[in-house]
Structures are given as structure tokens and as C-alpha cells.
Structure 1
Amino acid sequence: MIPQRRFATLLDQARDYQQLRCLYHNAPMNSRTFSLYADHSCDKNAFPRVTTAILEIHTDEVWNLEWSHSGTYLATASKDKSAIIWRIGTEADPSIREYYAQHILRDHEWPVGCVAWSLDDSILLTAAENQIKMWNTRTGLCIRALEAHTDVVTALSWLPDGSGFISGGLDRKIILWDVDGKQRDTWGRTPIRVTDLAITPDFTKLVAVGMYDLPSPIPQSNAPSAEGVTPPAASGAAHANNSPPTEFRMIVYDLATKQLEASIRTEGELTSVKISHDSQCALVNRAPGDSNVLCEIQLWDLRTARTVRRYSGQKQSRHVIRSCFGGVDGNFILSGSEDGNVYVWHRDTGVLLETLPGHGIGSVNSVAWNPRNERLFASCSDDKTIRIWESPPGLPVSFAADVGDYGHEYELGGKGKGKGREHWGEVGLDGTSSYGTGGTSRSL
């Protein structure tokens, strides 16, 4: 009389319920890590909440970072006109693990805003102003420079099958490239000036966020002359005189047909977008701009085009800040903040779990969870550094709950810093055009 597999279904539901109630759940759901013989609860002190390494070579703000798919390399982009490929040691003990700047990619004319790894980690893309460069990650040599964009390139994303990549920029262009750097296709002139984009892992949608220029109102005949009159404040971010009023939107394309599926108007400026592993949700950072809205991170359901969760507490007013999903099942939401902290929320409940101090003065601009180690993530900041965060290894539970940094700071012979929205298109400080490696490790 019991339906087939009904008992197994009930057990699966019980596991899901226990996992939902465990705010710090960060382990694979299998028989070794998850039992129904007792109430499940992950140890809070096993969550990555302490700094185990500080990487210092960049000489100006560090704006962006991304882990390689293998999890053993970290690419960082900086205002100092360089990108660095860091090699991360495989030692489990952070006190003996080595971090090495394998390649310092200095051959950029402008500050570097974006980095993106190919599927096999053999190519790293960097974007500086309107130029995209392709780098051989084994040799550190530039393979090709691409200059199809006419304004700042703000987003780079590889296709899920590794056959090419997509770039987006403030020139309203979205371009599809093949793996050799040849243009394969283009979306033409998009409705928005793209500030970020992402491709769903199921290879069906492209999601972009950016600024949409509204048609300028036609002046009435009896209106006073515009000469010498201060223009009214535009909606959204302030623009130069005579610029059309601006609103902010998230747009969704069908990746195969390039047809526009949705154009969603939002309050406040959207500065980043990430897609969940199941391709159902988009995570966006919203800054107030000039509108009377609060800064927050929003989780959008791409099927219904509705906001399903909001995360607040972080500070964002004028900087580009990029958040991410974290944890073994994407259970956590992480973001930097202009107050110098890293914020962590529980994805399903929206509960603020951690406010992690440690970075110096300025904005924490980007965070990235390691794809192979569910207990490790990295952050980069205006303080010119990259921090590696882990659970405190070998520390007593009572001490681990309060510690901020694990041991002493970790120097590699340089410095680094973050990115403001007012810096789109800005030419940075002069720098040398040479290749090199640098940095040695020191135990904590």
C-alpha cells in the first residue's frame, strides 16, 4: 500500500530539512558525513573565518580575482596595470603551505579590471580598458591582444564547454570569441552598457547587468533655455551634462538564438552578476547610485524574473563590488564591502553568519570561493592585498571562535588595492612592460 520508493523519498526530505536548519552546513551529503541517527549540525568553527595567508606584490588596488578550475592557481587583477598568477601549494597545513607568484603579467597599458580562466586552465584572459589579452598560463607570455571593443571591457566569461568566451563592455557590445581569439559572433548593439555578465552552467542563457539610457524628453516651446541652467539629477548614477537619463536593468538572452528573453528594470546600480550551479538563480550586487535605495545583494529566480532573497549589512556606495556563491553546495553568499570587511550569509534563510575583519582601509572589492576546497576562499582589497581565508587549523575551538588572523602577516614582496565605479575608463599609473616572476613564501 506504500507507493514505490516512498520511504527513500521521506529520508531524502528529512536530510534536506536537516541541512536547511544547519546554517553552517558545508559538507557533501553522503552516509559518512550525514546520518539521520542524530540531529545534524556542522561545527561553526570549521567554517573558513580566519586569514591564513596575506599575498602582497601588487602596488595598487586589487580589483578582481578568480581561482583556476583546478583550484591550485589564483589570478588577480590590479589598478597597477598588472595581473598575477599565484600558485597555491597543496600542503594541508597552512603553516607550511607555499604561495608563489608564478607569473606577473605587466604588459598592460591600463589598469586591469577582469580575469577569466579557460576550462583547462591553459589560458588566462585579462581586460584593461577596451583591450583583451590572452595569456599562456604555463609560460606567462601574451598569445594575442584583442581590440574589438571601443569602450571599457567590464566582463569576461568562458563558455561552459570551453569552446570560446564572451566579452561585454560599456560600448554596449557583447562579443563571442573562439578559443583562438577570433570573433565568432556578436549580439550587436545591446540595450544596456554592460557592467557585468555571466553564462548559465546549463549553457542556455546569458545574463547581463548594466545601464540603460532612457530617451531624452523633448523640451517644450515655453521652457526656459537650457543654457546656463543646471540640469536636473538623472535617475541612477550621475552623468555628464546633456547625457540622457539612466536606469539600470538586468537582461536575459537565449544563448543559442541570441533572442532577448527578459529585460528587468531595477532600482539602484547593479555591479556584478553570478549564476548558481543549478542555473536557476542570478546573484547581483546592487549599489544605491543616486536613488534612495539601500545597498544589498539580491538573489533572482531566472524562471520567474523575481527577487527571491535579499542580503544586507554590507556597505556599497561608489565601488564595483563582486559577490559569489560559496560552500560545497553553494549554501553561502559572500561579498566584500566598502567598510573593509567580508560578509557571509546563509543562502536559503538570508541570515548574516559572519562579518570578517582583517583587510585594511578601503573597499574589499571581490571574493572567490575555491572550486576544489570547500573550506577556503580568497578576497582582494583597496589595501593592496589578497587574503586567503580558512578554518583555523589545529586551534582549540574556544580560541578559533575569536581569532581574526592566524599567526603573522605573510609577505611576498609587494602590495595591491580595489575598484571604484568612477574608475571605469580611467588610465592608471605608469608601469613597466616586462614579464617576470617573483615572490617567495614564508611560514606563518
Structure 2
Amino acid sequence: MPMRLEPVAAPEPTGSNNNISGQKNGTTNGRTGVLNDSSNDSDYYGSSKLETTRLIIQALHEMGYQSAASALEMESDCSIDSQAVTAFKDSILAGKWIESERLLGSLDLKPGSNIMSLKFLIRQQMFLELLEQRDLVAALTVLRGDLSVLNYDTRQLHFLSSLMMCTSAEDLRAQAGWTGVDGDSRAELLRELQKSISPAVMIPEHRLATLLDQAKSYQVQKCIYHNTNAAVSLYTDHVCDPSQFPSKTTHILTEHTGEVWFVAFSNDGTKLASASKDYTVIIWDVPSFEKICTLTTHTDAVTALAWSPDDTILIACGFDRTVKLWDVQDRQCLHTEEFVHAVTSCAWMPSGREYLTGCMDIERPITLWSIRGNIIHQWTQFRVLDIALTPDSSKLVVICDDAKIRIFNTQDYKLIAAIKLDAAPTSVSISRDSKYAIVNLSAKEIQLWDIQKIQLIRKCVGLQQDKYIIRSCFGGLSDNFIVSGSEDASIYVWRKDDASLIEILSGHTQSVNSVAWNPKDKHMFASASDDSTIRIWTSESD
């Protein structure tokens, strides 16, 4: 039977952290394992020369340049780990648990770290390895004599006890979600322990790579017109050329005879659909923007459109109090649903077999339909101005005429949140990552909401909106932009990250009602206006 692991009397963390003092020569403080020296460290352009050297040595080791790392350690008289840290790492990876606990007590911990939780992790690993070896007597001894005496995490202790019933090593690994000795469980344990050890003692894994990634992310965030998936180089500061932003009109579509109220690109980006006050829907080819067909059986203005996930069916709804499902290929109406009041919005469920409608009928403001026309579910007691389904299909976001945003869970149809706004909303759009919603308000602003945290993030201001419905959208490679029409005939573009206004585009002569970004072309969007035209916007280089 293996020797029983006796509890180790290790000092509790004091809340202090012996940081590297920034010296060239790194000697070791015996208790903490922190590299210290009495000499002053020369600055490396504002950073600690010692810290920079240690990070480079670590990176060289990680990249496989062992000789270069050793040479730098020798020349700089500096190492990434003290002797105590090296011994601690080796003891964990070798499964020397008594030695591991003894060395843990000599390392400086982060303020607030719980030494008992770290001991629990080490002893838990010992217990699991004994179970994997099918040494049940020794495992039970560790469970009762070493884990229980810590009086820590009773719930986890009960779970570990249940693992004694596993019938094989394979069963144990499956039940515990644990990779075993032959897996990376010891390395994972070391990574978990390191979270509580001072970073001055044990540099976090891949620290230089993390800092470089943060530097690139910072440059991307500061790039006003960022809209590229090209790799960001470390050699130069990253700046996207403003000419790459779609600010040039390349096509003006004039087939509609009335105000154009809605535009939507197909999911594959090869078609554009437009809805008008002239009672028609027009489908256009992309990129030629030649008219493919005109759908003409509506008897009043068409207000909203939605492409099915496979782009074979187009939903159109509007003031004629109907919802029509159009076969895009055959240009035939497949199905019509009639309503008592105007239908304001529509959306597809990701299966393509169900869709949603929103209307001004308080008795059935939102209906979930099967494609065959059967009602699956209805929400009641409010009037709907617009609806949007998150791309992950988990939430339905609804804009209501009582100046509220309502968010529903699509799994059980229950209300998640009801948010009271300080002005009348007109439209809602969801980001592709399903995290954010933008809501146009008649108070001449667009609000960006985090719909996971149910939190207002920021406001975009500058546009003109008072009495008309304006539909905005996210745009760009990673939804970096918020784009909206305006009653002053302009198009406004803001950066999502800070709501700074970066473009005001002119060309239309009347209110711009709707904008839509091509999901397959980060350099193209469309705008629809009361001047009866649609404009296609691309970058200068296209």
C-alpha cells in the first residue's frame, strides 16, 4: 500500500506579492521562489528588462528553440523559473504528491488564494490515479484520511466518493471527465494550480504570445475602418485604408414606382429583394443588379421580407394584411395567410420548416407557423412593430408599440425580459454572434443592447428620425459597424465598439428607410429610400 499522504502545514497567503524588482541578474528568494536582485533593472523602452528577457526565454522554449533559450539564459544570467518552481513542476508531472505539497508551501500565492483548495486539487489527482490503477484500498485511504480532513468542497468530495463504484479505469475516466495518467491530467493540474500562484513566480503559459495577441487586438479595435480578415502584422501598426469602406454608389436601381421600404440580401449573397409602397416585391441579381422578377399579387404596400435559410422561399408581408410565401425559382405564391391587422415583420426559424410573423393584432401579435400553415404557438397582449430572431435561434427579440423590448426564449416561449424604453422604437436587428441588438428610436438615436446581459451598451446619435420607420443593420467583416438610414436622406455609419460616427453618405434625395449588408461581401451594402430608388454601395477599390 502506498505511504499515506499526511497533511502539510503550509503558510496561508498573506495577501502580499513579492514582485520581481526588475534586475538584470535573477537570484532566488528561498521561501517564495521569486527572482530578486538588489541592482536596478534597466528599462526596455518603458518595460522591465528582466521581465522582457524572461518572457523571451519562455517563448523560445515554447517554440522549440532550446539552444537559443539556454544561450539567452546564460548571457542574461536570468531564468524563467527559480529552483523551487522547477522542482514543483517536476514533482507534479512525476506524481510526487508529498513533495508537491511541501514545495507548494514555499511558493508565493496570489492575494486571496486558498491553500486548502490547492491541496485538495493535488490530493484529488492522487485519489483518481489510485482508482485508475484499481488500488481501491489505497484510494479509500486517501479519500478518508487526506481529502476529508481538509474540510473543503463537500459536494465535490461526495462526487469523488461515488467514483469508487466505477467498474473499470475506462468507466472512471468517462464518469470523472478526466484524461488519466497517460493523458494530460497532470499537466492540466499544473495549469490549474498555476492560476493561484504569483505570476512573478510562475509565468503563465504562452505569456508573450498572449501579449502579442492583445497588441494585435488593440490595434484592430483602434482601426476606425477595420473590415479585413488579412493577418495583422507585428512589423507595423495596423490601419485599414478608408477607401476599402463601401462609400461609393455603383448601382442605382429605379424599377420601383413608389417608396422603397425594405431591402434584404439572400443568405448566399447572390440576390437582393426589395419591398415597396407600390405593392410589389422585386428580386435582383447580384452582382449585376439586373431585375430577375417582380412579384405583383399584393394589394397594398409591402413592409417586410425574409429569405428562407436555403434561399428558396421569400416571405413578404405588409399593409394588405397578408403574409405570402413565394417560391423564388418558380415565382409562384406557395401560401397566403390573412390577418385582421397589418403585418409588420417576419422571420424564419433555422430549420426552414417554421417561420414567425409579427403584427398589430393584440390578439395574436406573434405567431409561429409551420410552412404548411399550421399554428405552432402564439404570443398575445401586445402589438408588434418588429421582430428579430437571434442567429443561434435561442431568443426572439420583439419591438412593441408600448415602447418596450420583449425578449423570449424560443425553447419554451417564455418571456426572458421586458425593457421599457424612453422613446418609441421602430425596428430591431441582431448581430451575427447573437449577442447584441440595435434598436432604432424616434428620439433620433440607435441603442446597442447586450441581449445576453440585458444591458444597454451605448447609443449612436446624429441621424434624423421622427415619424418614419427606419431600419438599421450591423455591417462589416465582424459586425464592426452600425449602419442606418435617416430622414435627412443620408446614411450614417458608426463604429460598434465606441459609437463614434465615421461616415455620413449622401446620394438619396428623400428619407432612407432601410439598409442591408451583403452577408457574403464585406464591402457591399444596399439602401432603400422614399425617392423610389435602391442604391448599392461598394468600396473605392471594387
* TM-score above 0.5: yes
The one-character-per-residue Cα deviations of 1:136-177 (angstroms, maximum 9, x if unpaired) are 101211111112x32111111111333321111111321111
Structure with higher Rg: it is: 2
Residue 84 (structure 1) shift: 0.5
| Structure 1: stretches of 5+ with no match in the other structure | 90-97, 213-247, 289-294, 395-444
Equivalent residue for 1:268, pick from 412, 423, 430: 423
Equivalent residue for 2:460, pick from 300, 311, 314: 311
Pair 1:78-2:285 in alignment = no
Contact preservation (8 Å) 1:176, 1:184: yes
Residue 33 (structure 1) shift: 3.2
The one-character-per-residue Cα deviations of 1:121-144 (angstroms, maximum 9, x if unpaired) are 000000022200000101211111
The aligned residue for residue 291 of structure 2 is: 101
Equivalent residue for 2:496, pick from 310, 333, 347: 347
Pair 1:182-2:374 in alignment = yes
2:388, 2:243 → 1: CA distance? 33
Equivalent residue for 1:364, pick from 512, 516, 519: 512
Pair 1:45-2:243 in alignment = yes
Pair 1:141-2:342 in alignment = no
Equivalent residue for 1:207, pick from 388, 393, 397: 397
The aligned residue for residue 20 of structure 1 is: 221
2:484, 2:383 → 1: CA distance? 23
Give the structure-1-normalised TM-score. 0.74
Say which structure is richer in helix.
2
Residue 110 (structure 1) shift: 1.0
Contact preservation (8 Å) 2:243, 2:541: no
Contact preservation (8 Å) 2:251, 2:536: yes
Matches within 5 A, 1:40-439: 40-89=238-287, 98-129=288-319, 130-147=321-338, 149-172=339-362, 173-187=365-379, 189-190=380-381, 192-212=382-402, 248-288=403-443, 295-360=444-509, 362-393=510-541
Say which structure is richer in strand.
1
1:330, 1:319 → 2: CA distance? 25
State the number of aligned residues.
338
The one-character-per-residue Cα deviations of 1:202-254 (angstroms, maximum 9, x if unpaired) are 22111101112xxxxxxxxxxxxxxxxxxxxxxxxxxxxxxxxxxx1111111
Matches within 5 A, 1:26-41: 26-28=227-229, 32-41=230-239
Letter in 2 for 1:370: N
Residue 9 (structure 1) shift: 2.5
Give the structure-2-normalised TM-score. 0.61
* Higher RCO structure (Cα 8 Å, ≥6 apart): 1
Residue 109 (structure 1) shift: 1.0
Contact preservation (8 Å) 1:48, 1:377: yes
Letter in 2 for 1:268: A
1:286, 1:38 → 2: CA distance? 41
The one-character-per-residue Cα deviations of 1:14-54 (angstroms, maximum 9, x if unpaired) are 221111000100011xxx43212211000011110010000
2:462, 2:436 → 1: CA distance? 21
2:286, 2:452 → 1: CA distance? 38
RMSD: 1.3
The aligned residue for residue 408 of structure 1 is: none
Letter in 2 for 1:100: E
2:332, 2:392 → 1: CA distance? 32
Contact preservation (8 Å) 1:274, 1:284: yes
Equivalent residue for 1:9, pick from 210, 214, 217: 210
1:300, 1:163 → 2: CA distance? 29
Q: What is the aligned-residue identity percentage?
A: 44
